[in-house]
Structure 1
Amino acid sequence: MPLAPDARQIGFSIPPQALSTALIAYGKQANMQVLTASPTLAGMRSDGLQGMFTPDAALQRLLQSSGLAYRMLDANTVAVTPAPTAPVDPADAADAHRAGAPAKLLEQVDAAALTEHAMGDVPAYASDALRYAADSIAVPQSVNVVAPHLLASQQVRTVADALRNVASVQQIENPLRAPLFKIRGIYTGNGMTDGMPNSFVGLGGYPPMIGVERVEVLKGPESILGDSNGGDMSGLINVVTKQPLRTPKRELSYVLGERGDVQAGLDTTGPIGATPLSYRLVVSGQHADSTAQGYGPRNAAYLAPAIAWQGDDNRLVLGVQRVTDRQPAADHALLLRNRVSAMTPRSLRLGNAQDHTAYRTQRAYYLFDQRLSDRWQLRSRGQYVTQAIDARNWGMLSPSPKGAVRAYAEAYRNTTAYYTIQNDLVGSFGDGPLRQTVTLGLDYTRARLGSSDYFIRMHRNRYDVFGDERLGPVHWPHSRRGILHYPGSPWSSRSGILLQDQISIGERWDVLLALRRSAYEISSYDAKGKLRQLRRRRWVPNVGVVYKLTPEASLYASTMNGFAPSAVLGKNGRPLPPALSRQVEAGAKIDLFEHRARLSAAYYQITVDRSFDLVLAHPSYFARPIDSQSNHGLDLDFVGALAPGLELSSSLALARIGRRDGTPTLGVPRTRFTLWSSYQFQDSRWSGWGVAGGILARDHTLGRRLAGGYFKIPGQASVDANVSYRTETWGVTVGMRNVFDRRLYADEFDETFVPLPDGRSLLLTGSYRF
């Protein structure tokens, strides 16, 4: 049945994506309510829509070859349903023709329902990590999405760079160059890849940005999703990797930076002949001669082939990813007195030029979707990952005002392995004012920390960092003598049962109820060095409510819970209770400028209980509990298009953290602000040209000396800018980081390791599509 007669044409901008989110975008742009049953759209893919169309013509194009039809319920509401299998008269046949061929499960690509050039999650959002799809205005929590266009506009090269767009996320620099982050002032864990929790052992790791579709930040405790590795107390980072598409695409990309920094990559995807198969291949290599202080070289490689099979009612993706990365030591300094102004010169290299950390990650995964009926769908995900690390660095302790230190050579290597399986059975019920989508999830993770070797050798005398003596490279000894060997731990497992119910009541109310039963194992060594394995269980509830003031504005409130098992022992020789966190959040989301921009605000309070300070970092790992802490703050985020060609992404985080014992909070600024804007010239004389720029600023933070005492880390601001030119087939961007060459500091450090962010630098990036 066609829509009500309406000859008006509307500008639609809906890129290829999951049909469920494409229909949400259609409803926003056409100012109509679209009703569907989730399993009806399970795994279906839309080729998108660009241009001026009537609402009727636009919906026909979106549903083309989907096996779906539509009918009007009233002037502003349309229902999408399976098409009749056998039309009985010409009128029915015409309606069936609107939906095309018999129902077919198309590509499963969970993506933000964005305009082609939108910078964020406007106007819809769907995520494997959340394990449900919904209009983002109806999600009762704060979620940030760093989308592809923003990544390209900023010349982003790492996940850490991408997360600079979210003010409540901080990267914490460390000697091992491991990806450590804080969300809302609390350390997060190893995050997720494609919605699956990464290892709860080891250090984790992320692929280069050429292999990343987008980066998501889910704020609030997320034990409900299965990540109980100790880092879900305040949020999670989910990295969505690129998957096979039916639409052919081939792109070469390159990066040229300073000090011999070169990177080249290939991203190609498309169908394999006339078969139901499609493929994707992403390849990248990077080399840099040295850092500003002379550490180097940097060598990295990435290989990620994947293949997808598409049936009428199911879809299977198989993929492999391999990452190798030799990262030189981070440029750093020492504090010689109790203030940052008294640090060693930025040009002085403290260690040896060959200090480095080498990572290797290999991942095999599958993604499977099966439509069981019009109301039921099965989603299954799995991955097997092995990781290895080899770190060799010089460290320094007890720096004196004149530069004398206790230097030591340190080497560390280990391996980890883990696998994860997720299975969700999703059912959708109700076609009237009360609609429900129920998810029953089962997931299982096993992980093993392999054997580890550790070597440390103190320098024979006090070392003068200003003297003529230079430290030699760190090598592993030829014999086992002097190497501390730790046998690997046995396989440990964690499992969970998830029951989740999305309830829509009329057009105004949405309720999300979730309950998870988590089971986990704790492996620890007692005071006699004997391995102990304990099994524990815990229930985790989450509740959220959304009230839609209008289709463009909503208010929400939610409570979320998290826990982190602890393998360390208290003084009674038994494992400490798990750390617990609870967040209460209330917020608002508003769509602006005809749904091409989103303003969101969230006030939160997180309480963390039974945290602990490590006392002995070797068996028997005695620890003592410390007082609870409470974090509260306000997050403001804006993303979208202000006018033709003009786009803006901005984020503000205001945070306050307190502990009952009055201990100062380290490394968390009270105010953090980020803004990025880009403009593509609309005048035909300047067609293809664009400019962009932004700022990242924060308030002062507090650091602590290992020897005792605190010091102030000053506030700062850094400005980046670039100029770009793009055509249909190629594009190039010339950018400048830290335009005003400000002296920047990391958010958190002690006197033995003061990370030094880069000064002013140039970067050239480009791409060629063929």
Structure 2
Amino acid sequence: MSPAYAASAQPAKVSFNIPAGQLEQVLVAIARSVRGIILFDPALVGSLKSVGVSGSLTVQDALREAMQGSGLEAVANPDGSFGVHRVAVKTALPIAAEVLPAPIVSTEPEPSVLPPVIVTNSVDTYHGYHDTGFIMRDTRSATRTDTLLANIPQSIQGVTTDLMESQQAQSVVDTLRNVSAVTYARGSGVDQAATIYVRGFIAPVMKNGVADLVSLTNVINGRGAGSSAITSLDTPIAAIERVEVLGGADSIITGGPMEPGGAVNIVTKRPQANTIREATLEIGNDGHRRAALDLAGSLSADRTWTYRTVISATDDARTFDGYDGARELYLAPSVGYKHDGTTIAAGFSHQLNHSPFGGYQSAELTAQGPGPDQHTSPWGRPDDHSFAAKTELFYDLEQRLAPGWAFLSKAHYTKLRYNAAGYANCFPSFVGASDGICFPDQSSVTSYTRNIENSVRASFQTGPLQHTLLAGMSYGQTRLGSYSDVSPLGGVIVPWPPSGLDLPPVSAPASLITTDDTFYYTNFFLQDQVTWGRWHVLANVGHEQERNNFSTDTDSNGVEHDTSPPKNAPVYNVGVAYRLNENTALYANTFRSFTPGSTVLDSTLNGGPPGVVVAPPTIGRSVEIGVKLNLLNNRATFSAAIFRATHKDVLYQLSGPITATSYSDYVLLPSTISRGIELNFAGRLMPGWNLTASYSYIAFQYAKPPDQDPQISQFPRHRASLWTTYDLQSEAWRGWGAGIGLTARSGYTAVPDSDVLGHIAGQTRTDASIYYRSRHWSTTLGIKNLFNRRLYSDFATSTVGVEPSRTLLLTNTFEF
């Protein structure tokens, strides 16, 4: 269903002068004239013509005149919108007649979107999604096929473009505040996340369904020694259509190893036929400046060839702690083609990042809680920074082979170049010390990543069962082309915390080491989506393998061993959804994931004989039950899930020997367990009022090492978020509105270096905005951390991240 935006039903008349033409375009013109909502299925209006509309008419009369002789009628909805339907045909299909739909097929009213925009891309002209407002209706990420969320037996939450724009989101990390099951450890950079956690477990990050196989890593002899570089988390907001969070141990979808909590998928904007000419200008605290351009449209008269180009640039004057500001340039053109059973989108992106070594705050964690801010001035020199250049090429193809049969293929290539020079790592000499040491970072790395996935899809029936069968294989490799991680020897003694330093400059590395070290991943999968009346079954089986060509080690006898034999494991997903009615679905699932085991020399395992230890893969399992609801005449959605995830057989090295030898002693830990509930709501409560809210309770418990007390959870158990906007409804204030949001969590404990528990108190952050929307431009003034509270991140070790203080943003968007 494509929504065009038209005014709520009112008896007042409006002057129309819309010429004859395609019915779809006439409906859009009516919507533009009165700025409200008209809902219609592009396939329904198809190639129908309209005589146009002229004169002073009510919206109802204008629609009746536009559709005369078409066999269609406009029906007023309770929220003031209009739906276009065939005369005398019911709008709701019986559950038993459901087939797997194209992206948006619901014939019920969809939520309004703030700000009002025209969305009329049909399935035949758009390569992306058709999200409206704060609600996602369907996805390809969980099944590799277009499937309604209600028919997928899995928790899937998301952040749409309209929600991101409404909140003035600055990064992917910023958007994930809307999903309460997600936490992150703050990284060393402006609004960076070093690690994303879903349900307490480390989560892989994907972009358009392709995972970052080796992120932020300089792989040298099997060791990760890199620093921050460009990952999918650094995709500019201007280029993102939605951000999805998939719950559960879904290794088959991520295409490689993962822990059992879930995964994050970033979906970038794709080509479309409808014209977009949109420019964004933004300013904020500390000289923040951002500009973006979004261009899209048709390249051919029949709208089969389309394009999309996104350009984004950031130029910040400085960081709050005195470093030179961040700079970024991003360019992403793409083209699309849809005609006669062939669908393809292809393009590339090029991203340049100049990232200061500052711009983030942290505090030392003590038994009394977080200490004072550590970053008050540059720890090294104001111009200490890293530079990264990332180039990506992609294609995504679907070719119909015969009725019910299709070939699917997608590929992704990435080249990443990263250089750093400056003082990045500073530490106190000991807890409570008045001095510390700063180590220079002088590193460089170039890496290449290739991913390709091919599959065949077949749709057929066996008796009463409707099948969508998918069989395929994905292959990925990440190769380290060259590197230098040799930093100048020794560190520099500094006062602690560092302040007002005048340290010698650090030059870039003088030479690079060329290598062919490569990680390889393969994933074979077979999937069947079965529909039988109200039942929807998802069954996946797969076989995954990881290997590399460089890991060797020498034992105590001088014998060299290959420590990188192939590591593989079978994985599976099974889930069932039952549609009680057209608005209610119950579901349950069980998923399985794996992470590769390790090979270590001169060691023992679980007290066994010494020698070469080959640890088994670490197995993740998740179980989940839940419910999904469409509410308020399909203007809102609600979902609830209860889950349990376990991670078993993690290899752990004991600090004290259990054998009287010089060997290293290892054990396989019992299960790390995460259990909890998730609640999510999104939609429009009444005309002009949009809301999204999320709550999670997560009880996370690490596996207990032998002869030690159980490690505590370093995550808050309770997290909640809420964001709501309201458009003023009176004619005098038309276009004006306001938004307000809360992000809250409970307190939690962590273990600082003193081995005494440190407590981080619960907290609530408040954001607010006021905005004005007109037909061709909008402006939003937003305040993040409205009350300027000292807030801490949701994960801590010996230090805890300190969230930014009050931040003002002014965002202006223009259509031309």
* 1:549 match: secondary structure: strand
1:762 matched residue in structure 2: 808
* Cα distance, 1:622–1:566 mapped onto 2, change above 3 Å: farther
CA contact (8 A) 1:566 1:579 kept: yes
1:597 maps to which of 624, 636, 647:
636
1:323 matched residue in structure 2: 351
1:465 matched residue in structure 2: 496
2:210 maps to which of 175, 188, 196:
196
- 2:166 is the alignment partner of 1:153: yes
2:403 matched residue in structure 1: 374
1:228 matched residue in structure 2: 256
Following the alignment from structure 1 to structure 2, what is the Cα–Cα distance between the partners of residues 554 and 105?
A: 25
Following the alignment from structure 2 to structure 1, what is the Cα–Cα distance between the partners of residues 359 and 612?
A: 38
* Cα distance, 1:759–1:110 mapped onto 2, change above 3 Å: same
1:260 maps to which of 287, 301, 306:
287
1:518 matched residue in structure 2: 544
1:653 matched residue in structure 2: 696
CA contact (8 A) 1:268 1:281 kept: yes
* Cα distance, 1:346–1:413 mapped onto 2, change above 3 Å: closer
**Higher deviation after alignment, 428-437 or 359-368:** 428-437
Letter in 1 for 2:164: L
- 2:273 is the alignment partner of 1:246: yes
* Cα distance, 1:758–1:201 mapped onto 2, change above 3 Å: closer
Query: What is the deviation of 1:726?
Result: 0.8
* Cα distance, 1:568–1:678 mapped onto 2, change above 3 Å: farther
1:681 matched residue in structure 2: 728
Letter in 2 for 1:407: C
Query: Please, which runs of 5 or more residues in structure 1 have no aligned partner?
Result: 1-8, 10-14, 17-28, 35-40, 61-68, 82-103
Query: What is the deviation of 1:272?
Result: 1.9
- 2:688 is the alignment partner of 1:642: no
- 2:192 is the alignment partner of 1:166: no
CA contact (8 A) 1:351 1:395 kept: no
2:577 matched residue in structure 1: 546
- 2:386 is the alignment partner of 1:357: yes
Letter in 1 for 2:355: Q
* 1:746 match: secondary structure: strand
Q: TM-score normalised to the size of structure 1?
A: 0.82
1:669 matched residue in structure 2: 716
1:212 matched residue in structure 2: 240
Query: What is the deviation of 1:75?
Result: 9.3
* 2:174 match: secondary structure: helix
* Cα distance, 1:439–1:168 mapped onto 2, change above 3 Å: same
Deviations 1:628-687 (A, max 9, x none): 211000000001111111011000010101234253234310000100001111211111
Letter in 1 for 2:801: P
Aligned counterparts, 1:119-518, within 5 A:
119-121=134-136, 124-175=137-188, 177=192, 179-189=194-204, 191-200=205-214, 202=216, 204-206=231-233, 207-229=235-257, 231-274=258-301, 276-328=304-356, 329-335=358-364, 337-344=366-373, 347-391=376-420, 392=422, 393-430=424-461, 433-457=464-488, 462-465=493-496, 470-472=501-503, 475-476=506-507, 488=515, 490-506=517-533, 508-518=534-544
Letter in 2 for 1:548: R
Following the alignment from structure 1 to structure 2, what is the Cα–Cα distance between the partners of residues 202 and 70?
A: 58
The percent of aligned pairs where both chains have the same amino acid is: 26
**Higher deviation after alignment, 169-178 or 463-472:** 463-472
Query: What is the deviation of 1:472?
Result: 2.1
CA contact (8 A) 2:716 2:747 kept: yes
CA contact (8 A) 1:638 1:651 kept: yes
CA contact (8 A) 1:407 1:458 kept: no
CA contact (8 A) 2:428 2:497 kept: no
Letter in 2 for 1:463: V
Following the alignment from structure 2 to structure 1, what is the Cα–Cα distance between the partners of residues 576 and 648?
A: 25
CA contact (8 A) 1:295 1:331 kept: no
CA contact (8 A) 2:460 2:468 kept: yes
Following the alignment from structure 2 to structure 1, what is the Cα–Cα distance between the partners of residues 408 and 327?
A: 37
CA contact (8 A) 1:306 1:319 kept: yes
* Cα distance, 1:71–1:378 mapped onto 2, change above 3 Å: farther
CA contact (8 A) 1:603 1:634 kept: yes
Letter in 1 for 2:268: T
- 2:57 is the alignment partner of 1:57: no
Query: What is the deviation of 1:575?
Result: 4.4
Query: What is the deviation of 1:505?
Result: 1.2
* Cα distance, 1:341–1:175 mapped onto 2, change above 3 Å: closer
1:98 matched residue in structure 2: none
Following the alignment from structure 2 to structure 1, what is the Cα–Cα distance between the partners of residues 406 and 591?
A: 27
Letter in 1 for 2:678: D
Aligned counterparts, 1:96-111, within 5 A:
106-107=124-125, 109-111=127-129
* Cα distance, 1:676–1:344 mapped onto 2, change above 3 Å: closer
CA contact (8 A) 1:378 1:423 kept: yes
Letter in 1 for 2:403: D
Q: TM-score normalised to the size of structure 2?
A: 0.77
CA contact (8 A) 1:244 1:308 kept: yes
CA contact (8 A) 2:443 2:508 kept: no
1:582 matched residue in structure 2: 621
* 2:455 match: secondary structure: strand
* Cα distance, 1:334–1:154 mapped onto 2, change above 3 Å: closer
Following the alignment from structure 1 to structure 2, what is the Cα–Cα distance between the partners of residues 71 and 413?
A: 68
* 1:740 match: secondary structure: coil
1:610 matched residue in structure 2: 649
RMSD: 3.6
Following the alignment from structure 1 to structure 2, what is the Cα–Cα distance between the partners of residues 654 and 532?
A: 40
Deviations 1:347-392 (A, max 9, x none): 3544432333333221100011111222112221111111233344
Query: Please, which runs of 5 or more residues in structure 2 have no aligned partner?
Result: 1-8, 10-23, 26-37, 49-58, 76-85, 100-121, 218-230, 604-610, 656-662
1:92 matched residue in structure 2: none
Following the alignment from structure 2 to structure 1, what is the Cα–Cα distance between the partners of residues 236 and 665?
A: 38
Following the alignment from structure 1 to structure 2, what is the Cα–Cα distance between the partners of residues 364 and 663?
A: 46
* 1:175 match: secondary structure: coil
Letter in 1 for 2:732: R
CA contact (8 A) 1:719 1:740 kept: yes
CA contact (8 A) 1:253 1:765 kept: yes
Following the alignment from structure 1 to structure 2, what is the Cα–Cα distance between the partners of residues 332 and 279?
A: 41
* 1:153 match: secondary structure: helix
Letter in 1 for 2:538: L
Aligned counterparts, 1:81-96, within 5 A:
none
**Higher deviation after alignment, 342-351 or 361-370:** 342-351
1:715 maps to which of 757, 762, 786:
762
Letter in 2 for 1:647: N
* Cα distance, 1:354–1:706 mapped onto 2, change above 3 Å: farther
2:796 maps to which of 739, 749, 756:
749
CA contact (8 A) 2:94 2:582 kept: no
Following the alignment from structure 1 to structure 2, what is the Cα–Cα distance between the partners of residues 535 and 649?
A: 45
CA contact (8 A) 2:365 2:752 kept: no
Following the alignment from structure 2 to structure 1, what is the Cα–Cα distance between the partners of residues 464 and 89?
A: 16
**Higher deviation after alignment, 442-451 or 555-564:** 442-451
1:563 maps to which of 574, 579, 594:
594
